[in-house]
């Protein structure tokens, strides 16, 4: 199995183009309004979001080892970016902070900091995915019925200007329904549900992604509404809105460069470090989550991913873009569209660039409700009811951190929710290791104290309690054969017991010990065993 995985990873870049090409078009269509929306919510120029999307696709896609992750501007950074732009004297100084954040990420890669993501419990990762699925549905429902605010919005529960996700959605359902948008969204969702079951297994149609059909349908349906039912026609405010430069000089004028004269600004450095840490954390968690939903279960080199993200932010900052991270929303759409390699990511960035250059007026015909339908279905696949039953079947130690992560993300925001989930997850990990580390067995005149796993300071109480149960005038076996490490606190407890044992008529024998260092520190007689 491992050999097949390695062989798959060494295939040529274009070996799976039949799957990657249509998937890349879908991801580009999904990413386009998200790039604009994140830029809008961040208080940055709209074009900066498109720059970040192109860089995330082409630059990061070319360097990253992840076959399915898609990078671009992310909602998780909007609050940080908005505050930074407000505090810094100019947008060009902010671009310098983005460049330096990228350089710091390159440094993180060299110090191999990517390994930190491996300490995140799987229950938290799956909970994050499920929460994002719910948020996608809740946040995209307004656009499905004709809301014309920001494209992606925030992952926070509390809405700007008061209210929250649920009150905002309730208000929109009561007061603001554009029936043309609602009809397109409903028909699109119905088609994608049907197409998932009815798509042919063989022939050219098996490569046709449902989201691409939905986007084309939305454009055509709105044109038909305009001709035969003007009351249902969707206005420009409910369509994608891409900047349309009128000349080459106007297009080039959309790019900005950093102000390197601000290199000594302490405020700018604080922003750079903050962006580097948060963007790295979000990217590592996103890539780890994408690996979980990869049908082939390929594992991404996290340090290489930090290298790619650093290079991406460095380039984005140099030409006027906002920060980029690996984004689970676009990555999930990539997976669901059938992508098989990073070619899809790179092509999606290419399509974004070409579409802005060549056909911005065509992109501006796409209804937001059609794209909302695509994201709603993506969200549903991330949070299917089956997922909750599976986690329940794994027991409380898996279900509670999973559910806590979901609730915390829903009622706070993505990053704080993940932190809360991690805290609960680690508490359960510690509790699980603490509760079953040492066992005690007594049979006549013989007793055994057995360590079931490595012993750390948190196991001192268990070890002391087990040793206190040993009666006088008996033979005691302290079994350490299942350990590879016993810390000094527990060694001291064993030695103290061994020193007092002769005065109670107790014979002590220590079995096993996987480390010579521990053996030399234990003063009781040791019986060596062989380890398989």
Domains of the chain: 16-177+242-367+379-385 (no CATH), 436-527 (3.30.750.24)
Q: Which of 11-20, 116-125, 169-178, 495-504 has the highest mean pLDDT?
A: 495-504
> CA separation (Å) from 250 to 36, 47, 247, 452, 459?
18, 12, 5, 69, 68
pLDDT of residue 532: 29
The DSSP output letter for 301 is: -
Lowest mean pLDDT among 73-77, 179-183, 322-326: 73-77
**pLDDT mean across residues, the chain:** 84
pLDDT category, 529, cuts 50, 70, 90?
A: very low
- Residue 198 pLDDT > 50: yes
pLDDT of residue 431: 72
* Element containing residue 479 per DSSP (H, E): strand 475-479
Do strands 507-511 and 526-527 pair parallel, antiparallel, or not at all (unpaired)? parallel
The DSSP output letter for 89 is: S
pLDDT of residue 165: 62
Query: In whole angstroms, what is the distance from residue 48 CA to residue 95 CA?
Result: 10
Radius of gyration of the chain (CA): 28
Class of residue 254 by CB neighbours under 10 A (exposed 0-12, middle 13-18, buried 19+):
middle
Query: In whole angstroms, what is the distance from residue 489 CA to residue 128 CA?
Result: 37
- Residue 249 pLDDT > 90: no
- Residue 340 pLDDT > 80: yes
Model-level pTM?
0.68
Q: Which residues pair with 486 in a beta bridge?
A: 455
pLDDT category, 526, cuts 50, 70, 90?
A: low
pLDDT of residue 525: 60
The predicted-structure confidence for 466-483, as pLDDT tens digits, reads as follows 999 999 999 999 998 888
Average pLDDT over residues 57-79: 88
pLDDT category, 303, cuts 50, 70, 90?
A: very high
Query: In whole angstroms, what is the distance from residue 291 CA to residue 298 CA?
Result: 6
Q: Collect all residues with Cβ–Cβ distance below 8 Å to 26 and sequence separation of at least 6.
A: 209, 211, 212, 215, 333, 334, 337, 374
Average pLDDT over residues 82-91: 90
Query: In whole angstroms, what is the distance from residue 403 CA to residue 411 CA?
Result: 12
pLDDT of residue 148: 60
What value, to the nearest 5°, has the Cα angle with vertex 211 and ends 205 and 212? 65
Instruction: Return the biggest CA–CA distance within the chain.
Output: 101
Query: In whole angstroms, what is the distance from residue 91 CA to residue 51 CA?
Result: 15
């Amino acid at each position: 199995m491992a050999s097949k995985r390695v062989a798959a990873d060494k295939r040529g870049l274009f070996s799976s183009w039949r799957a990657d090409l249509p998937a890349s078009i879908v991801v580009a269509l999904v990413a386009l309004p998200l790039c604009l929306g994140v830029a809008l919510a961040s208080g940055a120029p709209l074009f900066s979001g498109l720059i970040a999307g192109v860089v995330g696709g082409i630059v990061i896609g070319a360097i990253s080892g992840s076959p399915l992750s898609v990078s671009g501007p992310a909602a998780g950074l909007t609050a940080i970016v908005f505050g930074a732009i407000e505090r810094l004297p100019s947008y060009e100084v902010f671009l310098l902070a983005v460049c330096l954040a990228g350089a710091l990420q390159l440094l993180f890669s060299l110090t191999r900091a990517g390994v930190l993501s491996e300490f995140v419990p799987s229950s938290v990762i799956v909970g994050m995915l499920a929460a994002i699925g719910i948020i996608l549905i809740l946040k995209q429902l307004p656009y499905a019925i004709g809301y014309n605010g920001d494209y992606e919005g925030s992952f926070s529960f509390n809405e700007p200007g008061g209210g929250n996700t649920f009150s905002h959605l309730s208000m929109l359902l009561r007061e603001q329904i554009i029936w043309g948008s609602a009809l397109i969204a409903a028909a699109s969702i119905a088609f994608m549900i049907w197409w998932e079951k009815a798509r042919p297994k063989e022939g050219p149609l098996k490569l046709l992604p449902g989201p691409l059909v939905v986007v084309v349908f939305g454009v055509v349906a709105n044109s038909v509404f305009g001709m035969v039912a003007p009351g249902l026609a969707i206005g420009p405010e409910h369509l994608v809105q891409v900047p349309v430069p009128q000349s080459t000089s106007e297009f080039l004028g959309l790019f900005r460069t950093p102000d390197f004269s601000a290199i000594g600004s302490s405020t700018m450095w604080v922003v750079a470090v903050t962006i580097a840490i948060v963007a790295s954390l979000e990217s590592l968690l996103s890539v780890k989550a994408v690996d979980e939903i990869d049908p082939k279960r390929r594992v991404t080199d996290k340090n290489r991913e930090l290298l790619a993200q650093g290079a991406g932010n460095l380039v984005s900052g140099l030409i006027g873009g906002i920060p980029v991270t690996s984004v689970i929303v676009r990555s999930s759409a990539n997976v669901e569209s059938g992508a098989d390699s990073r070619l899809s990511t790179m092509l999606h960035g290419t399509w974004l660039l070409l579409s802005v250059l060549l056909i911005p007026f065509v992109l501006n015909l796409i209804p937001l409700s059609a794209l909302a339908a695509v994201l709603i279905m993506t969200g549903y696949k991330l949070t299917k009811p089956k997922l909750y039953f599976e986690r329940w079947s794994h027991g409380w130690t898996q279900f509670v951190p999973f559910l806590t992560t979901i609730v915390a993300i829903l009622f706070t925001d993505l990053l704080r929710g993940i932190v809360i989930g991690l805290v609960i997850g680690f508490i359960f990990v510690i509790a699980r290791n603490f509760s079953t580390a040492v066992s005690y067995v007594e049979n006549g005149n013989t007793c055994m104290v057995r360590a079931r796993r490595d012993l750390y300071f948190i196991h001192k109480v268990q070890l002391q309690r087990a040793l206190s149960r040993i009666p006088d005038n008996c033979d005691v076996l302290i079994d350490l054969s299942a350990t590879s490490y016993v810390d000094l606190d527990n060694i001291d407890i064993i030695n103290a017991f061994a020193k007092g044992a002769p005065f109670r008529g107790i014979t002590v024998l220590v079995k096993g010990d996987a480390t010579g260092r521990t053996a030399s520190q234990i003063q009781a007689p040791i019986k060596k065993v062989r380890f398989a």
